């Protein structure tokens, strides 16, 4: 179905970032169109489906068994030598969920439509309408037809393989080494460590430049996947090797779904706006540089963006200068933390398996510190600890001191 009239805002991409932006704008009476080149929202799934509870405050959809599959109350982290650290995250007030991503996105889409947004599927944006230095809408292929849709602002929520910012002249190119290739089986009848705990494995044998995850979706169903960077073989090769060499867990199980995709585990782009354009989510490289999670960050960024876009529409000012408020607010709220996490990732990737084992021994005494560091906190405490317990690692840690 086609909507050819003029809109206040056209959002390119109906993933978590675009859909959430659509919900927020439409509920404030802003005439919004969300377009996606796919024919089905939420599919194909490219996701481990982990979502921390703290992001739920950004959702306007009813929490139900339909899209929330499993409560997660802890994590067990394995070092290369198979020593493990178990953290009861519920005890420290952090719980998470494994969701059914396709249903989750569909519920978000339904909410956007209920609030007044329109959605067009099979609509591949191939160019931007530009006038007097401003983005003024999109040119798209709708099935086989080329159409133009005008708007005051375009939101680029077009994910990891985004092209829209580049068409507008914003450089979002990344070093290929900063993309993590992900491969995952959703598997049934897995022998889980604990159905309420996620399992994380660090090892250059199984996941060079990344990690293996087991995210339970029930008592014995789980997403078993990994992300690798700069690896000699394919992500599938490493996952099959991990499964083969950890056969006790998988000997009675079998895949029920295969998922593959790419995550931008880099630092966010510096420039998130231009005249008539706002960039959110993976398109702006907002996924977490350490663990690759990007759903929650996208929901938050879309919320912040929609507040500024609403003000821009009211003020009739779509200039880069006005929209810069979004960039500033987002960097203050989340961007700075992601930059710190990026530096920590750069530190980790310089360590070999033996050094990672040493690091794991440090964390065994204070497992909560892992969570703090992931969120860009307590870097000084961590540096003090390695000065005392593993001074040889200090030479790799200089980048962590940058503000």
Ligand X SMILES: Cc1cc2nc3c(=O)[nH]c(=O)nc-3n(C[C@H](O)[C@H](O)[C@H](O)COP(=O)(O)OP(=O)(O)OC[C@H]3O[C@@H](n4cnc5c(N)ncnc54)[C@H](O)[C@@H]3O)c2cc1C
Query: With contact defined as beta carbons under 8 Å apart, do 34 and 18 qualify?
Result: yes
CB of 235 to ligand X, least distance (A): 8
b/e for 64-97, b at 16 or more Cβ within 10 A? eeebbbbebbbbbbbbbeeeebebebeeeebebb
Point out which span in 30-38, 68-76, 315-323, 374-382 binds ligand X (CB under 6 A): 30-38
Give me the 214-253 binding string for ligand X, x by CB under 6 A, dash otherwise: -----------x----------------------------
Q: What is the nearest approach in angstroms of ligand X to the Cβ of residue 395?
A: 32
Q: Which of residues 32-91 bind ligand X (CB under 6 A)?
A: 35-38, 46-51
Backbone angles phi, psi at 282, to 5 degrees: -60, -25
**Per CB under 6 A, which region of 80-88, 120-128, 171-179, 387-395 contacts ligand X?**
120-128
Residue 25 is a binding residue for ligand X (CB under 6 A): no
- Convert residues 145-184 into a mask of x (bound to ligand X by CB under 6 A) and - (unbound): ------------xxxx--x------------------x-x
Residue 268 is a binding residue for ligand X (CB under 6 A): no
User: What is the sign, positive or negative, of the torsion defined by CA atoms of 279, 285, 290, 294?
Assistant: positive
Q: Does 379 bind ligand X (CB under 6 A)?
A: no
Nearer to ligand X, 16 or 80 (CB): 16
d(CA 25, CA 117): 8
Alpha-carbon gap, residue 310 to 306, rounded angstroms? 6
User: 143 to each of 6, 135, 368, how far by Cα in Å?
Assistant: 20, 23, 51
* Residue 276 interacts with ligand X (CB under 6 A): yes or no: no
Quick one: which of 265, 345, 330, 259 has its CA closest to 298? 330
CA diameter of the chain: 66
Site for ligand X contains 287 (CB under 6 A): yes
Residues making contact with ligand X (CB under 6 A): 12-18, 35-38, 46-51, 123-125, 157-160, 163, 182, 184, 225, 261-263, 281-283, 287, 292-296, 298
């Amino acid at each position: 179905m086609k909507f050819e009239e003029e809109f206040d805002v056209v959002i390119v991409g109906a993933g978590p970032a675009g859909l959430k932006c659509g919900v927020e704008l439409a509920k404030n009476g802003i005439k919004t169109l969300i377009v996606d080149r796919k024919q089905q929202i939420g599919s194909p799934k490219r996701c481990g489906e982990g979502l921390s509870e703290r992001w739920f405050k950004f959702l306007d959809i009813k929490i139900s068994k339909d899209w929330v599959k499993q409560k997660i109350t802890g994590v067990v982290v394995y070092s290369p030598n198979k020593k493990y650290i178990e953290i009861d995250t519920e005890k420290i007030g952090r719980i998470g969920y494994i969701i059914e991503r396709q249903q989750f996105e569909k519920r978000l889409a339904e909410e956007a439509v209920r609030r007044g947004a329109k959605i067009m599927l099979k609509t591949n944006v191939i160019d931007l309408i530009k006038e007097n230095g401003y983005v003024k809408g999109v040119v798209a292929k709708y099935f086989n037809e080329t159409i133009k849709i005008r708007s005051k602002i375009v939101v680029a929520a077009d994910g990891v393989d985004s092209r829209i910012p580049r068409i507008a002249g914003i450089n979002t190119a990344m070093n290929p080494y900063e993309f993590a290739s992900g491969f995952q089986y959703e598997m049934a009848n897995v022998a889980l460590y604990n159905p309420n705990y996620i399992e994380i494995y660090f090892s250059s044998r199984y996941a060079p430049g990344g990690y293996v995850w087991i995210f339970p979706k029930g008592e014995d169903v789980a997403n078993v996947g990994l992300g690798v960077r700069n690896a000699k073989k394919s992500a599938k090769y490493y996952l099959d090797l991990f499964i083969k060499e950890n056969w006790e867990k998988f000997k009675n199980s079998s895949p029920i779904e295969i998922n593959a995709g790419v995550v931008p585990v880099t630092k966010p782009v510096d420039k998130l706006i231009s005249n008539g354009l706002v960039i959110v989510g993976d398109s702006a490289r907002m996924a977490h540089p350490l663990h690759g999670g990007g759903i929650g960050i996208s929901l938050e960024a879309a919320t912040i963006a929609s507040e500024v876009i609403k003000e821009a529409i009211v003020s009739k000012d779509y200039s880069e200068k006005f929209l810069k408020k979004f960039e500033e607010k987002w960097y203050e709220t989340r961007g700075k933390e992601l930059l710190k996490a990026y530096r920590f990732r750069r530190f980790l990737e310089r360590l070999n398996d033996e050094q990672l084992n040493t690091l794991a021994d440090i964390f065994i005494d204070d497992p909560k510190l892992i969570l703090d560091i992931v969120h860009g906190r307590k870097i000084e405490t961590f540096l003090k600890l390695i000065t005392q317990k593993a001074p040889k690692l200090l030479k790799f840690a200089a980048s962590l001191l940058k503000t």
